[in-house]
Amino acid sequence: MGLFDFFKKKETAPEAQEALDKGLEKTKDGFFNKITKAVAGKSSVDDEVLDNLEEVLVTSDVGVSTTLKIIKRIEERVAKDKYLNTSELNFILRDEIQLLLSENNSNDFRQFEYGDHKPYVIMVVGVNGVGKTTTIGKLAHKLKESGLKVVLGAADTFRAAAVDQIKLWGERVGVRVVAQAMGSDPASVAFDTLQSAVANGEDVVIIDTAGRLHNKIGLMNELGKIKQVMQKVVPGAPHEILLVLDASTGQNAFEQCKQFTEATDVNALAITKLDGTAKGGVVIGISDQFRIPVKYIGVGEKIGDLQLFDKKEFVNSLFK
């Protein structure tokens, strides 16, 4: 059984759906207000409507490249069926966004399993302030609630606050934390965490890392060293490199994704703070442009408000 199955056993669909709908309210309101204005007074989908729709998508932080793909698809449908009217536009737009996301990530999280790795090692990266520590804490809570033994490694030794925050989350959710003094070698913390996880028979290791981008070479070297050291204890580790991005930063999230994917082999994304922003379109754009699965989304401040990302449910909620 994969970790995904544990998540689904515990998380009832109505509760998760309600939290998702609520978390996307600001994005949904902004998005539909703009679309309503874009089609005002129009009875059919013409060039002007498409131009206005393009502007709506770009200003909703979907991103230029992804927006152009969506508009091209809608143009093709309009050319095929000359009688499309503006009342059908929402349905067409929803379909095309769902199709685009499905094509980009064939390994949707519904089929994703962590396999036979024990311990399964997750290295978490991202700049300070994006909700990295909170995501780690909430993920640890979900996994522990599911019956898995989890340990956290406080390898962001650059900031004293980061180590303290991880310790607080460990106490809050009842999972073990491995930490050293501030300024310690991050790779040493990661090494100790994995060694103790193996000795204690723990299922999942989550390693926090320093969130600074001012020197990409330094970041690459540090993350590379952490990976090398972990592989001495658990061959193939880390199994997942999870990049945490803050949806409310809009286009800046695209730039952070670009920087981190150049610095290390990111293979999973968590997009946080969707409930506090109207910029939820970044989920669509980043998923499309970087072809990295969005695995988790943060839709609220409660401990249970970290969700598995489901493309279909996300887009349906956006268009409700």
Distance of CA 107 to the CA centre of its chain: 15
Which of 45, 71, 103 lies at the terminal end of a domain, its last residue? 103
Q: Is 318 domain-assigned?
A: no
pLDDT in tens, 114-158: 667 899 999 999 998 899 999 999 999 989 988 889 999 999 998
H-only helix segments in 129-272? 132-145, 160-173, 186-200, 216-233, 251-263
Residues 87 and 153 in one domain: no
* pLDDT band of 17, cuts 50, 70, 90: confident
> Is 34:60 a contact under the CB 8 Å cutoff?
yes
Binding-site positions for GTP = 126-133, 208-212, 272-275
Q: What pLDDT score was predicted for residue 79?
A: 85
Could you give the dihedral angle defined by the CA atoms of residues 155, 178, 139 and 2, in that order, rounded to the nearest 10 degrees?
110
Range of the domain at 19: 13-103
- Above 70 in pLDDT, residue 22? yes
> Is 101:137 a contact under the CB 8 Å cutoff?
no
Q: What whole-number distance in Å separates Cα of residue 320 and Cα of residue 310?
A: 15
Number of residues that this document lists for the chain: 320
Q: Is 109 domain-assigned?
A: no
Residues 162 and 227 in one domain: yes
Residues 34 and 177 in one domain: no
Binding-site positions = 126-133, 208-212, 272-275
**Which contacts (CB < 8 Å, 24+ apart) does range 191-195 have?**
191/229, 191/230, 191/232, 191/233, 192/153, 193/151, 193/152, 193/153, 193/155, 194/119, 194/121, 194/153, 194/230, 194/233, 194/234, 194/237, 195/233
Residues 132 and 158 in one domain: yes
Q: pTM for this one?
A: 0.91
Q: Is 253 domain-assigned?
A: yes
pLDDT in tens, 170-195: 999 999 999 999 899 999 999 999 99
Q: Is 4 domain-assigned?
A: no
pLDDT in tens, 206-257: 999 988 765 677 888 899 999 999 999 999 999 999 999 999 999 899 999 9
Q: CB neighbours (10 Å) of residue 225?
A: 15
Residue-by-residue DSSP string for 191-221: HHHHHHHHHHT-SEEEEE-----S-HHHHHH
